[in-house]
Amino acid sequence: MLPLRPLQRSATRAPWPDLAPLVDGSLAGRLPQAQARLWSLVLRARRVPHRVRSLPGGYTVQVPARFMRQAVDEITLYHHENVSPHPDIPLPPVEERSRPTVAAMLGLCAFFLIAHRPWPEFGSYPQYWHSVGAGNAARMLDGQWWRMFTALTLHADPAHVASNAVIGGVFLVLLSRRIGSGAAWLLAILAGGLGNVLNVWVQGPAHLSVGFSTAVFGAAGALAGLKAVSGEGGLAGPQATAQAGARGWLLPLAAGLALLASLGTAGENTDIGAHFFGLLAGGLLALPVGLLAMRHGYPNENWGMRLNEFCGILAGLLLVGAWTWGWECGWPMR
pLDDT in tens, 270-284: 678 888 999 999 999
Class of the CATH domain delimited by 99-330: mainly alpha
Nearest one of 311, 318, 319, 253 to 92, comparing CA atoms: 311
Q: What is the pLDDT of residue 259?
A: 65
Judge whether 20-81 and 99-330 match in fold.
Answer: no
Mean pLDDT score of the chain, rounded to an integer? Answer: 79
Q: What is the pLDDT of residue 301?
A: 47
Alpha-carbon span 296 to 166, nearest angstrom: 32
Q: In the CATH scheme, what architecture does the domain 20-81 have?
A: 2-Layer Sandwich (3.30)
pTM of the model as a whole: 0.68
Alpha-carbon span 85 to 232, nearest angstrom: 10
The average pLDDT across 127-133 equals: 89
Tally Cβ neighbours within 10 Å of residue 66: 9
Question: 160 vs 167, 252, 289, 333, CA distance in Å?
Answer: 11, 27, 30, 29
Q: What is the pLDDT of residues 248-305, one digit of tens each?
A: 555 556 666 666 666 555 555 667 888 899 999 999 999 898 888 777 666 654 556 7
Is 50 exceeded by the pLDDT of residue 236?
A: no
The average pLDDT across 200-212 equals: 90
Q: Using an 8 Å Cβ cutoff, are 207 and 140 in contact?
A: no
Spans of all domains in the chain: 20-81, 99-330
Write a three-state SS string for the chain.
CCCCCCCCCCCCCCCCCECHHHHCCCCCCCECHHHHHHHHHHHHHCCCCCEEEEECCEEEEECCHHHHHHHHHHHHHHHHHCCCCCCCCCCCCCCCCCHHHHHHHHHHHHHHHHHCCCEHHHCECHHHHHHHHCEEHHHHHCCCCCHHHHHHHCCCCHHHHHHHHHHHHHHHHHHHHHHCHHHHHHHHHHHHHHHHHHHHHHHCCCCEECCCHHHHHHHHHHHHHHHHHHCCCCCCCHHHHHHHHHHHHHHHHHHHHHHHHHHCCCCCCCCHHHHHHHHHHHHHHHHHHHHHHHHHCCCCCCCHHHHHHHHHHHHHHHHHHHHHHHHHHHCCCC
Alpha-carbon span 107 to 100, nearest angstrom: 10
For residue 61, the cross-strand partners are 52
Q: What are phi and psi of 97, to 5 degrees?
A: -120, -120
The average pLDDT across 38-52 equals: 87
Amino acid, single-letter form, for residue 193: G
